[in-house]
Amino acid sequence: MLLSVRELEVFRHVMQSGSITGAARVLHITQPAVSKMLQQAEARLGFSLFLRHGRTLRPTAEAQALFPETLSAFAAFEAVQRLAGALQGGVAGTLSIAMIPSIANSILPPTITRFRTRLPEVAVVLHAVPAPEVVRLVEDHRVELGAVIGPVGGREVVVSDVCATRLGCLMPATHPLAALPAVRPEDLQEWPLIATSSHWPLGAQLNVVFADANVPLKIAVTVDHATVAGALVRSGAGVALLDGFGLLSARSPELVSRPLLPHTMSTARILRPRYRLTSPPTETFRQLLLEVAAECGMVFAAPSRQ
């Protein structure tokens, strides 16, 4: 027959103190109560736990074998209690987030570092995926928070406009365009361009900017990730047109960026599941994300929700 938690607790304290008197003192019960529970435990087990010599107790071989496992069991129980208390206070558990790669490679790393410093018992699960997948993960309640750039089509998400960045051109510091304070579509006609597909929000914006300037948009290399664009620029494959997050994630000492004129803003949005309450860790993470974005010079948008 299995022992009760209370009987295991009595056994543990008798082993640790070496006497019934010591166990009774720690447990704040009488010595007869300790003796009675030990006897009940031995009756349940069908073997003796202690050999009694007057007032002296000597653990049996069986007790010695049980003791390490008893300590492990109580350590696990206490860990569960601590975790439950931390969850009650909103300072433990797991936070799942989904971000597009340009955000994941720019403002997200310092955000996670600060978050883990603030709430070290909360593990972070990150999905760096394209925007449609971010929306799906949020809609399916597989993540608590998502971040994308551009319009959002999901109906089961709450969308908040967070901040906006200006489109820019990334180039080697020695490139002729680096001498300009800003670049226009007509300045880029003779240079190979690296940019995202027109199916992406940034690509669609570039189509509009170049069309308004009556300049054909000829992309030499189409990429999905800003870090890849940065590597291509460093290798001399061309100059890259990116939003502020992309410029931040692709930066390196040998590269510089210049604003693209006319100024065009790219808006970042935070997504949350519509029918899920925002947990304290999620709200803490959101606030830290805004904090890092502000320090990186992002322009904050007026609050907007759908």
Q: Which domains does the chain have, with CATH numbers?
A: 5-88 (1.10.10.10), 96-161+268-296 (3.40.190.10), 168-263 (3.40.190.10)
CA distances (Å), origin 13, targets 27, 47, 124, 253: 8, 19, 38, 62
Strand, coil or helix: what is 50?
Answer: strand
Distance CA 13, CA 19 (A): 8
Q: Which of 42-51, 134-143, 184-193 shows the highest mean pLDDT?
A: 184-193
pLDDT-derived band at 226, boundaries 50, 70, 90: confident
For tokens 């948009």, what's the residue? 217
**What does the chain come to in residues?**
306
Contact residues for 130 (Cβ-Cβ < 8 A; gap 6+): 100, 101, 224
User: Do residues 238 and 261 touch, judged by C-beta distance below 8 A?
Assistant: no
Q: What is the pLDDT of residue 238?
A: 96
- Encoding tokens for residue 80? 């569960």
Cis peptide before 262 (omega within 30 of 0): yes
User: Do residues 276 and 86 touch, judged by C-beta distance below 8 A?
Assistant: no
Whether the model pTM is above 0.75: no
- Encoding tokens for residue 296? 């990186």
Nearest CA to 32 among 17, 53, 10?
Answer: 10
CA distances (Å), origin 259, targets 131, 209, 263: 24, 13, 7
User: Do residues 92 and 123 touch, judged by C-beta distance below 8 A?
Assistant: no
186 or 79, greater pLDDT: 186
Portion of the chain with pLDDT greater than 90, in percent: 43
Nearest 5°: phi and psi at 45? -75, -30
For 237-263, write each residue's pLDDT tens digit: 999 999 998 998 888 899 999 999 998
Asked if the model's pLDDT at residue 304 lies above 50, the reply is: no
Q: What is the pLDDT of residue 306?
A: 41
